[in-house]
Amino acid sequence: MSAPTALRASLRELAERAGAELEGASAQDILQWAQATLGDSWCVASSMADGVMAHLASQVRPGVDVVFLDTGYHFAETMGMADAMSVVLPITLKTILPLRTVAEQDAEHGKDLFARNPDACCAMRKVEPLERGLAPYAGWVSGLRRDEAITRANTKVVEWDEKRQMVKLNPIATWNQAAVDIYMSSNGILENPLLSDGYGSVGCFPCTARVAEGEDARAGRWAGTNKIECGLHT
């Protein structure tokens, strides 16, 4: 159930203020702000590329909900990551399914919609499920980083998600890949095996390809099209 209008207005002001005040704060401090401000009404959304954000969040709130969208098109390695993270980290995995199975979608919209209209496919298998997955919370945490893509360059560490009318936290927005690597090696963080097999970014298998050495990490997502975001963060 969405928050009352007055509460949403208050949260929006708090988020916008925190976005400026916490710009130089550590990821842990940003998550501590979420806990102090939202109580337990926040979750982590994970693509299962790695366990960095789930690990950070679980240090602040053991048992934190981690929302994972099972699109029906994931690599086996990604499904394995979800299972492994639920075992090795003190989190509560919340797996959200699309309203239609792949077979039902094929029957209604034609086979391989992802090839003909990837935006429509993402809308049904990612965007709508995320709306349902986030509905019980007042805030959500993503692992977005400014260095990942030009569309993410202005990401704030805390911001107001206008579309969903909730607080959005991006605690590692200021990190670069070197900082991620250091955190992972220092804390024994799980990583999706695909990232060591030529994939720079992990999405659904029909729309994700390996990248060439020196190529942008997200170049393998929807390769050959002008699509660079699935719609979850835009």
Residues involved in catalysis:
230
Residue 69's DSSP bridge partners are: 96
**Cβ-Cβ contacts under 8 Å for 105 (sequence gap 6 or more):** 98, 113, 121, 124, 125
Cβ atoms of residues 61 and 43 within 8 Å: no
Question: Number of helices and strands (H, E) in the chain?
Answer: 9, 6
- The candidate with the shortest Cα–Cα distance to 47, out of 7, 92, 90, 85, is 85
**Helix, strand, coil percent content, the chain, rounded in steps of 5:** 45, 15, 45
